[in-house]
Amino acid sequence: MINFEDEIKKFSPSLEVEDIEDTIYNQDLTDVADLFVKMIKDNQGD
């Protein structure tokens, strides 16, 4: 039978997951609000 307490003690997160987290958090992503602001600024310049 599996002893979950022992398995939890042995657990360590995958390095790949930590690398992905860093990559995602360090990205400067454009969201929908940024797109709307750009569209409004572009239309006001016309």
**2-44: pLDDT as tens digits:** 899 999 999 887 778 777 877 777 777 778 888 899 999 999 9
Instruction: Determine whether 20 is exposed, middle or buried from the number of CB atoms within 10 Å of its CB (0-12, 13-18, 19+).
Output: exposed
pTM above 0.95, yes or no: no
Q: What is the pLDDT of residue 24?
A: 78
Residue of higher predicted confidence among 4 and 45: 4
How many Cβ atoms sit within 10 Å of the Cβ of residue 22? 10
Q: What is the pLDDT of residue 9?
A: 92
Q: What is the pLDDT of residue 45?
A: 74
Please state, in angstroms and rounded to a whole number, the distance separating the CA atoms of residues 32 and 39.
Answer: 11
Q: What is the pLDDT of residue 46?
A: 61
